[in-house]
Homo-oligomer: A and B are copies of this chain.
């Protein structure tokens, strides 16, 4: 299992957290997604290393942005 952490900006509430969890959770091989609203830290566990562009696209799809 690979653990990837990214930081997402713009989340303000539990709905935002759920939107990010849902979109990131759809990526191939992802097992779990943990989102900390206060810090914006997103911790992703997956069976294979994740492509950073794919993570960025999922976060964009949810309506938020990755910290570069």
Contact = CB atoms under 8 A, between A and B. Distances in A.
A50 B10 CA distance: 35
Contacts of A12: 12-13
Question: In the complex this chain forms, how many copies of it are found?
Answer: 2
A16 interface: yes
Contacts of A14: 63
Nearest to A13: B12
Interface string A1-35: 00000000000111110010000000000000000
Contacts of A15: 13, 15-16, 19
Nearest to A10: B13
A14 B14 CA distance: 12
A38 to B, nearest CB: 13
